Structure 1
């Protein structure tokens, strides 16, 4: 489109919108002119003219050629000029009533030529506004956009649901692990306590062993302790005293060593129970059947809660059931044996 056409289009749109947005009530001016000269009779014909121009939306001007644009602009400017004359009307003239009536008649007379000239443009504007093919095309495009948006939303919902399920599974696993960890802490505390006690008794064992070594060296070099070895009663008394002292120190060494070994043994056992409890979940998930899971559970329970040697009693103390026996019982139960 040439540059002149763009200028004409812009000026025509400005003239049309200026008339369409004009406030007709401002033309009455009854307070200024009085009831005798007020433009009361101009309201209805002016509204009819503006209503006629309102039927041509400014958006349809883009499709109009220059001839129709020029005609529409001239008609809008003519109407606006009459409105301007009415707005500038004063009583300081020879025949104000006749001038007022002339302006009203001009507005009334504008309707017929305006209708004759603009009705094709009005019809075209209505057709363009009711372009069913365009509406159908826009409806199809809108439907496609909605379907695409729905499909994208459904895909996002599926992905979000999958993420939620993964998070839920991870949360359940974490909760189970936390629950197991909370129970395993008891065995960890017991293992730490026994380790502390074993370190303490180890030091005592070293000390008592040193005392025993010192007593042995002392007895080796101080044989008679100022007593007469030829005197049999004194010799017996010395021998008994040495035996008692040596036996007492030896028993102290034995007792310290036994306590050290017992606490060391219990620290290892409780650490083993802690590891068995922490690894139970992994082993249970690796089982493929309920029966295998029961075997793992029973085995883990036997390792965790089964009686263990304390270090003071013989190995395999009372009530202790070896893991092989536990597995055999579970297999028998699974096979329906009594």
Structure 2
């Protein structure tokens, strides 16, 4: 009888120990599952941060290019003003010389003087046009690169504010258009209407509404 009681006590203790081990194992399993979920969330955040940093890094390239273009535009603007001043002074001098200096004697001297003035005037005019053209080109590129930088910098923030995938597609479409499609900045003769563009935002909305 005493031995039977001892066996029963041992059995109860063994069952209790096994139950404690099982409970402990369940707690450890739940803790590991929670840690796994937390680790996945942290990993997802790290990936998002890395993606945002990647987008920001790309924006830096456009920022640097915009700065270079702005500096180039400032340089060409000075040259344009200088060329305009030289052309104005030459034109004024040529006009004044007609009244101050005595007229050339003979047809040959007249033709020679006229052709010389025309050549100098043409060269100065071309120089003014060349400087102005480069100025407008640099300003155009500066504005375009600034637009691209802003599109990349604000893209992530706008996407996070979007409520659904349709809005995300629209934002992505517009950001891509700003980066890859030629833009009209007012500094060039580009006609944006003649340039093929990406799919319009309305098409995205229509596809979402029709369930395509």
TM-score (norm 2): 0.69
| In the alignment, structure 1 residue 304 sits paired with structure 2 residue 194 | no
- Change in 2 beyond 3 A, CA 1:193/1:167: same
Match of 1:181 in 2: 56
Residue 313 of structure 1: how far off its partner (Å)? 4.1
Within 5 Å, which residues of 2 pair with 1:272-287? 272-287=147-162
Contiguous gaps of at least 5 residues in structure 2: 1-19
| Structure 2 partner of 1:235 | 110
Q: Equivalent of 1:328, from 188, 193, 202?
A: 202
User: Which structure's relative contact order is higher, taking Cα pairs within 8 Å and 6+ residues apart?
Assistant: 2
CA distance in structure 2 between the aligned counterparts of 1:176 and 1:200, rounded to whole angstroms: 37
> In 1, distance between residues paired with 2:90 and 2:77?
20
1:314 maps to which residue?
190
- Contact 1:308–1:317, Cα closer than 8 Å, also in 2: no
Once the two structures are superposed, residues 22-65 of structure 1 have per-residue CA deviations (whole angstroms, 9 ceiling, x without a partner) of xxxxxxxxxxxxxxxxxxxxxxxxxxxxxxxxxxxxxxxxxxxx
TM-score where L is the length of structure 1: 0.46
CA distance in structure 1 between the partners assigned to 2:138 and 2:182 by the alignment: 16
The 10-residue stretch of structure 1 (253-262 or 233-242) with the greater mean CA deviation from structure 2: 233-242
Distance 2:43 2:78 in 1: 51
* TM-superposed deviation, 1:312: 5.1
Q: 1:334 to 1:229 in 2, by over 3 A?
A: same
Distance 2:57 2:74 in 1: 26
Offset from partner CA, 1:215-274 (integer Å, 9 cap, x none): 123223323796634645533443333233223212211210111011111111111111
Q: Please identify which structure carries the higher helix content.
A: 2
2:40, 2:211 → 1: CA distance?
A: 41
> Is 2:76 the partner of 1:201?
yes
Return the offset for 1:214: 2.5
Identify if the C-alpha distance between structure 1 residues 171 and 243 changes in structure 2 by more than 3 Å, giving closer, same or farther: same
Deviations 1:90-120 (A, max 9, x none): xxxxxxxxxxxxxxxxxxxxxxxxxxxxxxx
Q: Aligned in 2, Cα 1:337/1:306: closer, same or farther, shift over 3 Å?
A: farther
- Shift of the alpha carbon at 1:298? 0.9
1:172 paired to 2:74: no
**Is 1:213 matched up with 2:88?**
yes
State how many pairs are aligned: 191
Q: Which has the larger radius of gyration?
A: 1
Aligned to 1:139: none
Q: Which runs of 5+ in 1 are unaligned?
A: 1-142
